[in-house]
Structure 1
Amino acid sequence: MKRTAKASKAEIMITPLCDVSFTLLVVLMVTTPIMMVTSPLNITLPKAATMEPRQSANITVTVTPAIPPDNINRVSINEKIVPFENYAAYLKKEIDAHPDRLVIIKADRYVRHGIVVSIISTTKKLGAQRISVGTAQRN
């Protein structure tokens, strides 16, 4: 008679898998707040059902509402505050340097509609090929 050796069953070790998973979770939880991008201007975006993720390759135009006593809207282009009167010159430099990039216009929800339309129109005239309006995720 032949003797047959019992084949041992292969087992998956769960403990190292759990250790790696929890380590990754902790690392992601710690690094997420660090990766949050802050703007020099404090704005409240309007809500929308869909939104695109922000990419660093985009040109971002941020507009704040006019605040007394000067009642002038403040504009920043790629996190750099520029004078509202000649933001077009700064935007033209960015568009000429990177004509294929997406221009995201992030206006506070209290900015007058006419100002936003004017900025969109100016952006088109300056040669931007892709324009988007920034929004916050609707709950």
Structure 2
Amino acid sequence: MEPASPLLSAGFIMVCFLGAVRLSTGDESHCPCPKIPPWPLTEDPPEKCHQISDTFRYTCLVGYVRKAGTSNLIKCELKNKVGQWQNSTLQCIGEMFTELSFIWKRNFFTFAFDFTLLISDFILLMSKRLSL
């Protein structure tokens, strides 16, 4: 069997190389959304292909929780013919902070309740003394 001509081999290699370059440039019609942006105090988002309307939920790092009133959900939307991730409102706060906040609120409520009872007892006592 006769070996292939050098010109044919070079042509084959060139076609393979150009095909690999074309596929490696990241065809935007295949993955229209950019990488998910990292967010403070969250786990790294996965590096994979995302489509328009895909959603992603950030996860706070161990020891942190999502602050009430903030959202960990973002969505890829088409804006000006370009895929963009929505801005996040997520705030991850330390679990200890949430526990201390609850304890402070509970103690303040207990104090306010006790103070109200004390005032009520005082008024009741004074009204009894005045009626004597």
Give the TM bin, normalised by the shorter chain: 0.3 to 0.5
The higher radius of gyration belongs to 2
Q: Write 1 or 2 for the structure with the bigger share of helix.
A: 2
TM-score by length of 1: 0.32
**More relative contact order, 1 or 2 (CA 8 Å, 6+ apart):** 1
